Structure 1
Amino acid sequence: MNWTVALPMYNVSPRLRDGYEAFAAALLLQAELDHDTTLVRDVPLPGFWARAGLLLSQTCGYPYVTGLRDDVTLLATPCYDVPGCAGSDYRSALVVRAASGIATLADARGRVAAVNEPHSNSGMNLLRHAVAPLARDGRFFAEVQWSGSHATSVAMVQAGAADIAAIDCVTWAYLCEERPADVAGLAVLGYSAGAPGLPLVAGADVPAASVERLRAALLAPGPALEATLAPLRILGFAYRDDAAYGRIAQLEDEAVQLGYPSLA
């Protein structure tokens, strides 16, 4: 079989895209799975994660708990060295314009939210959970605009087309480093609740022995693989099982119980 590899989640610059591709190559080499493999970019999400022949990818926890469990196997979750992360947990940075007059989350009532995707944990689920206690009759925002990506949400807030966005804290840290002009004039209002970060996964077709080799390499990286981590601000990896990712569904349930099932 010709296997497919894609790590699409954090490629906000050419340097990071190349860094994740170097990481993937080193991982496959250490796991001795570097044959008949095609690395692809610009993949259609979330459908790509259920594609036949998927060897390695990184997914968001929300689509995993809401529909991908039977299509992928959890390998390990990165531990990022950025504000908002604690071990393999991460949070969303609640981003506003510094001059917007929004000093607390309650001040964002009646404003416009930019959200990357309906299936995003960081952009949608964590924001829904954050504002659920403040919602009235199922509403909090004047409007929710779907942007298509975290970077576009940031651009919308900066331009005044939206007032607030919940941005994966790893993406936010990467944007601050790689594209400082894109975050000029913006501020972090606070952070969302935490949840397990974006896991590396293997596709349903990957044999169990190959899954174990991939996971073992991630949990005990050799020198070549280790050298690819620091440029990505990855400290290491932790195995988080299916039960750990149930935290994401719990956050959704808490918003629903407060009468706020959808961002509005």
Structure 2
Amino acid sequence: MSRWIASLPMYNVTPQHATQWRSLLGDCLAAYARMTGGEEVTAIEVQDGELMAHWRRKDLLLSQACGLPYRMLGLHSEARVIATPRFDAPACEGPRYCSALVVSANAWRRGATTLAACRGLRAASNSADSHSGMNAFRHAVAPHARDGRFFSSVLWTGSHAATLRALAKGAADVGAIDCVTLALLRDAQPEQLDGVQIIGMTASAPGLPLIASRTLGDEQAEALRAALDAAHAADPARAGKLRLRGFARLTGEAYAEIEEMANTAARLGYPELR
């Protein structure tokens, strides 16, 4: 049995991007093996419903998590932040990102050109444990809510791509899409953005952290950071396709900002997206 497992599950927005992330991970693990004398690692694929259990594994060398479960669902006690990607995407600044507030073309024509004008419309979100699709969205809506409500309904779609499809098909009116996902889709499948309009952006927050089990030692963690840098530098064309500029060294404490966004919404009387 391999000692370690690894995955990069979060930005496989198209099959082409999934191939590029697997390639980057392969180069990272090869560099890590050279630096550590051949520690054995297996790259695996992880389904969405398995992510929390995967991130909590004691033999996790590397994966990418969402900041909300890392900070707010207890993951920080079992995993350590290794690095945070820096993306070349609109609305990204260094290792920080935000979400685009998007509406359907029909909602746009009916006057939903600002978030405040979306009162009473149907919202869509990828997941209740997503920072980009729910927490940042809730934080943006909170100042406009009345008696804890703003939308007529909330549709949970399962992914950002599914949220875009729901808007395009008229099943929902407004949602929030991770700006990195949006940029990658615009590059590879721009037709997925047909029928939607961007009306604003959420507040920024630290990007999706690359994590490892807390069983990983400090020297191993430093080797892993160096291996990530080596993998990024190894193929500039691949990095360009992934819009990846490199990796920042944020600490786990940086992700307290995501919890504070949730607390701000709660203080404004809007603890749930609804």
Under TM normalisation by the shorter chain, which class is it? over 0.9
Q: Contact between 2:229 and 2:246, CA under 8 Å: does it hold in 1?
A: yes
In structure 2, distance between residues paired with 1:206 and 1:109? 47
Counterpart of 1:218? 228
Counterpart of 1:41? 45
* Mapped pair 1:77 → 2:78: no
Q: C-alpha offsets along residues 195-226 of structure 1, whole Å, 9 cap, x if unaligned?
A: 00001111233233211101233356674265
Q: Contact between 1:26 and 1:225, CA under 8 Å: does it hold in 2?
A: no
**Which ranges of structure 2 fall in alignment gaps of 5 or more residues?**
none
The alignment's TM-score, normalised by the length of structure 2, stands at 0.91
The alignment's TM-score, normalised by the length of structure 1, stands at 0.94
Over 3 Å counting, the alpha-carbon distance change for 1:197 and 1:190 in structure 2 is: same
Counterpart of 1:130? 140
> Which amino acid is 1:53 matched to?
D
In structure 1, distance between residues paired with 2:167 and 2:53? 28
The sequence identity of aligned pairs, in percent, is: 44
Q: C-alpha offsets along residues 132-166 of structure 1, whole Å, 9 cap, x if unaligned?
A: 00000000010011111111111101111011111
1:15 Cα deviation after fit: 1.1
Which of 76, 94, 106 matches 1:87? 94
In structure 2, distance between residues paired with 1:257 and 1:126? 15
**Which ranges of structure 1 fall in alignment gaps of 5 or more residues?**
none
Which of 116, 119, 122 matches 2:126? 116
Partner SS state of residue 96, structure 1: strand
1:18 Cα deviation after fit: 0.8
Q: C-alpha offsets along residues 32-65 of structure 1, whole Å, 9 cap, x if unaligned?
A: 2665322222331222211231111001111110
Name the one with the larger helix percent: 2
For these two proteins, the number of residue pairs brought into alignment is 264
Map 1:29-178 to 2 at 5 A. 29-32=30-33, 35-43=39-47, 44-66=50-72, 67-100=74-107, 101=110, 102-178=112-188
In structure 1, distance between residues paired with 2:224 and 2:20? 18
Over 3 Å counting, the alpha-carbon distance change for 1:36 and 1:216 in structure 2 is: closer
Q: Contact between 2:31 and 2:230, CA under 8 Å: does it hold in 1?
A: no
Over 3 Å counting, the alpha-carbon distance change for 1:222 and 1:176 in structure 2 is: closer
In structure 2, distance between residues paired with 1:40 and 1:242? 24
Q: Contact between 1:74 and 1:241, CA under 8 Å: does it hold in 2?
A: yes
Q: Contact between 2:24 and 2:232, CA under 8 Å: does it hold in 1?
A: no
